[in-house]
Amino acid sequence: MLLRYASDPEFLIMVIVAFVVAITIHEAAHALAATWLGDDLPRLQGRLTLNPMRHLDPLGTLVLAFAPFGWGRPVLVNPYRLRFGVNRGMALVALAGPLSNVALAVALTPITRQLLAISPDDITTDALLVIVQLNILIAAFNMLPIPPLDGFSVLVGVVPQTWANQLNELRRYGPYLLIGVFLLLWVIPQGSIIITGPAQWIFEFLLAP
């Protein structure tokens, strides 16, 4: 994939478009969940929209020109205004992002299957395959229980309060932990199977005839 990413401009454009779609859906879902749970901060900041410009991070998007990786602008949420309590409320807001990516992948599956049967080498088919696969990968990656990823907030929301208090102390180290994970995956690429394994299984399950 990395070789194709570096040498195939058409594939690069597909990945960038798929990333914009995935991040827009992901962050808008966070904003919608927070609004539904009682916090109007995302709406006031203009994040309750499907306009990609409200959700893309300039640096996170620019990085895509050089590597198959990027990020969007996090949706700011006031956890004390959420229903069901701070931890459970934030868990629901966090879960909405990955679920939206999986939902989009599932919604695009029928037409992708049809195009694969009719014109498997068509550029439209390739683009849809990239969108489906990238949305599943983003969902799988974000569900890792590492701050500041969504999976960590989900974990904090389901464990007992005493454990949640201890886990929340790790949030201050979130960026360093995330960098550590990337460095570890760079040194030991086989470790990426934790993400790519489940993502590939879901991808093949959705597109199975």
The pLDDT of 103-120, averaged and rounded, is 91
Give the chain's mean pLDDT.
87
Q: What is the pTM of this model?
A: 0.89
Residue 124 contacts residue 61 (beta carbons within 8 Å): no
The Cα angle at residue 95 between residues 89 and 96, in degrees rounded to 5: 95
The parent domain of residue 111 ranges over 2-207
The pLDDT of 139-164, averaged and rounded, is 93
Confidence of residue 4 (pLDDT cuts 50, 70, 90): low
Q: Kindly list the catalytic residues.
A: 27
Q: Give the chain's domain count.
A: 1
